[in-house]
Amino acid sequence: MSYGAAIEEGSAGSLMVVERTLIVQLNPALTDSAVRRLRDVVGSTLEAQQLRALVINMASVDMMDSYLTRCIRDLAVSARLMGVPTIVCGVQPAVADTLVEMGMDLGDVRTTLNLDSALRLVKQSRRARS
């Protein structure tokens, strides 16, 4: 399945827009500075393109600490304040286990198993709002 053209690639991951949905594909090795840059780019992209949903795909991420967890949660909250719902997908079992062991979660951010499920959920949400 083709999801559209990438608009930015960097050390944090790649971004692409499909049907007014911003898809963020995170890279496995995320640095703190890359995550900060990602937050800036995502915020400006959501605003400039007037997008309707944000999907963060974590399928490549095999390790996650409390800082990255907080950054993703904060990114989702920022998007929601801009009127853009967020879905996190592709959390690997080891990452989920680590988050549970650390007592961390993504708050009220919606999650799905994979990118296809996330995009289906976006479409269902749009139909429900119409």
Instruction: Tell me the pLDDT tens digit for each residue of 66-88.
Output: 888 888 889 999 999 999 999 99
* Amino acid symbol at 77: V
Q: What is the pLDDT of residues 80-130, one digit of tens each?
A: 999 999 999 999 999 999 888 888 888 888 999 999 999 999 999 878 876
Question: Is residue 95, in this structure, part of any structural domain at all?
Answer: yes
On whether the pTM is more than 0.85, the answer is: yes
Question: Is residue 13, in this structure, part of any structural domain at all?
Answer: yes
Question: Is residue 116, in this structure, part of any structural domain at all?
Answer: yes
Q: How far apart are CA 89 and CA 92, in angstroms?
A: 9
CATH number at residue 59: 3.30.750.24
Q: How far apart are CA 16 and CA 33, in angstroms?
A: 21
Question: Is residue 54, in this structure, part of any structural domain at all?
Answer: yes
Q: Which residues are CB-contacts of 81 (< 8 A; sequence separation ≥ 6)?
A: none
Question: Is residue 38, in this structure, part of any structural domain at all?
Answer: yes
User: Tokens 């996330």 appear where?
Assistant: 118
Question: Is residue 105, in this structure, part of any structural domain at all?
Answer: yes
